[in-house]
Structure 1
Amino acid sequence: MAAVNQHPIVLFHYPGSLWAAKITAYLALRGISYHECIQPGVMPRPDLAGLNIHYRRIPVLAIGRDIYFDTVLMLEKLEQLFPGNTLGARDPTSRALEKTLEKWIENAVMPSIIGSLPPAFLDNEQMVKDRRQCWDSEISVEAQEKGRPLSLVNLRTHFNFLESLFSDDRHWVLSTDNPGLADIHTAFALDWILGMPGALPEHFFLDEFPKTFGYLKRYRGVLDAANIQGPKPESLAGPDAANLIIESDFVEPEGDVEHDPTLLKKGQNVALWRTDESAFSRSINRDLGRLSALTSHEP
């Protein structure tokens, strides 16, 4: 059963975006209809600038007039605001494992995936120049080639963990009948790199981890079927996407600023930027506004 939209959804992303793959997978598996506004893979992005958004990461998700930058928060809001056939775990133990897997992929597996990319992936002068403005670390074909062997070794360790998990022949991470949110957390990034020809040496992974590859094949098969059978995203040009968002109502009521170590106050003017980007990026890719809510769930 497809989820019924009460508020328009607009997803700003570009084809090939790793993090956008996570959100589009969720929307497909839920059968949620949405609009998409395709963006350039590099800055600038005039469509977002037209909404006074300077955040440089993709994807950006609008639900009604509320706009979300963080993919973790996007999934949480889609679970909350579109009830029915949600994908999240129900019992406390499964929810804890689901969240643990989410953080494991983001903080441990993701660096290995990025480091395992073929050096040819960086053979794009425009992209490299753009990413150098964002990161302080060295970004070059030579640096990628030098660091790739260690990343592949680390990635094999992560595959070994999954091979152990699937050793009991379960089909999905939480032994459910169908893929859930835990499976999106676990599989989206590995599925993304497997879709890149030559990214992983087959003799290094496929022969050693058959159960993990079987799991990833099932994930891709279910996702492909959902994309074929479910609603197709409606493409919008930037001005049309902006008008749809601006003319919509806010989905969430204004919250409160809870007691917080930052000592920020409700109504205070604040600037928002990513702390893991370079000083140059932080100086230009920041958003200004009035603080309306701050909680332990939405820091």
Structure 2
Amino acid sequence: MPRPELDALGVRYRRTPTMAVGRDVYVDTRMILRRLEELFPPSEAHPALSSMETAGLAALLNKFTIDASVFTRAVQMMPSHLPSMNDESFVKDRAGFSGKGSTLHGGLKRRPETIAHMRHLFDIAESLFADGRDWVGGTEAVSFADLEGVWSFDWIISDLEPPAEYFSEALYPRVYSWRNRFKAALDNARARAPKPVSLKGSAAVQAILGADFSDEGPPTVDPNDPLKLQEGAVVQLFPMDGGGFTHKDRGRLVKLGKDEVAIAVLAKTGEEVRIHAPRWQFRIQEVSAGPRL
């Protein structure tokens, strides 16, 4: 959802993407993909992307892509002539994402170091296909593990103009072939899917606030969670790996478990909205002072 809509819903989260299902707003791709898997259980028309056999590899590729710096280093490879790099509002917003004193253009000074780092990451991805497999989990078709691993490489190849002397199909034939297979599978899925209905601006906000909560079952707070927080506690919620430096969501704790946290916030028009986030790389801090929400 665009930022004006998030502001209207009372959500300060500034990383993309976000997804609303009724008045439940899911932030961070990890949380969104997990919720979509729950909403669309496997069927003959909709085969499962995830499986017990590929779950571990998918989780490792998620950490490899985000926590082992594929994405971070990719950001540092953004060419200076891209329109977004010269968009004052975008650059200012990303400074809030990365922390005080950080700038997108500052990353250009580290470009040689970034290229050296990225070559190692491409080497790792290339080695995963050394046995000739088409999909990273050794499956017959695309799986959740491919989704977790390929997107950042696709972004680099498609949009970031990586220097051809270091990154090319000749140097990394398996990575480029993996990316091409994934794009073909994605195009095929889009062609078979129904055309989505587009809602923008106030219409999208009204549709969300006029809906019910979609998360089934009563929200619960695990009393044995290491944080030892009580249901209803006022907390701040924000990502630890960027984006929380200037935008911290504050609300009433309604759900806390090993994999997920949810807080209740108020939209500008007074309706309650619940923000759901993963536990990995998100910080939850109790607010010691202030009214209960």
Whether TM exceeds 0.5 here: the answer is yes
Contact 1:105–1:186, Cα closer than 8 Å, also in 2: yes
Cross-structure match for 1:118: 79
1:250 and 1:291 mapped to 2: Cα distance?
A: 16
Do structure 1's residue 164 and structure 2's residue 127 form an aligned pair? yes
4+ runs deviating over 6 angstroms = none
Could you report, residue by residue, the CA deviation over 1:218-266 in whole angstroms, capped at 9, with x for unpaired residues? 1112212322332233210222212222222222222221122222101
Q: Which structure shows the bigger proportion of residues in strand conformation?
A: 2
1:139 aligned residue (103, 116, 129): 103
Cross-structure match for 1:58: 16
Change (3 A) 1:101 1:293: same
Change (3 A) 1:54 1:138: closer
Change (3 A) 1:173 1:235: same
Question: Cα distance, 1:167 vs. partner?
Answer: 1.6
Contact 1:119–1:144, Cα closer than 8 Å, also in 2: no
Contact 1:254–1:292, Cα closer than 8 Å, also in 2: no
1:124 and 1:190 mapped to 2: Cα distance?
A: 24
User: What RMSD over aligned residues (CA atoms) do the two structures have, in Å?
Assistant: 2.0
1:254 and 1:62 mapped to 2: Cα distance?
A: 18
**DSSP 3-state at the match of 1:145:** helix
**DSSP 3-state at the match of 1:49:** helix
Do structure 1's residue 205 and structure 2's residue 170 form an aligned pair? no
1:269 and 1:172 mapped to 2: Cα distance?
A: 44
Could you report, residue by residue, the CA deviation over 1:39-64 in whole angstroms, capped at 9, with x for unpaired residues? 2xxxxx32211111121222111112
Change (3 A) 1:116 1:87: farther
Cross-structure match for 1:287: 249
Contact 1:118–1:144, Cα closer than 8 Å, also in 2: no
Q: AA paired with 2:234? A: N
**DSSP 3-state at the match of 2:206:** helix
2:241 and 2:141 mapped to 1: Cα distance?
A: 35
Cross-structure match for 1:222: 185
Could you report, residue by residue, the CA deviation over 1:158-214 in whole angstroms, capped at 9, with x for unpaired residues? 111121111221111112121111111111111112221x62122322221111111
Cross-structure match for 1:173: 136
Contact 2:14–2:243, Cα closer than 8 Å, also in 1: no
Question: Cα distance, 1:138 vs. partner?
Answer: 2.8
Do structure 1's residue 267 and structure 2's residue 232 form an aligned pair? yes
Do structure 1's residue 67 and structure 2's residue 25 form an aligned pair? yes
Cross-structure match for 2:210: 247
Do structure 1's residue 97 and structure 2's residue 60 form an aligned pair? no
Could you report, residue by residue, the CA deviation over 1:117-176 in whole angstroms, capped at 9, with x for unpaired residues? 2232323323212222332253143x2322111111111111111211112211111121
Contact 2:65–2:148, Cα closer than 8 Å, also in 1: yes
**DSSP 3-state at the match of 1:134:** helix
2:245 and 2:259 mapped to 1: Cα distance?
A: 29
Q: Percent identity between the aligned chains?
A: 33
Q: Which structure shows the bigger proportion of residues in helix conformation?
A: 1
Change (3 A) 1:140 1:151: same
1:88 and 1:278 mapped to 2: Cα distance?
A: 29
Contact 1:116–1:149, Cα closer than 8 Å, also in 2: no
2:47 and 2:61 mapped to 1: Cα distance?
A: 18
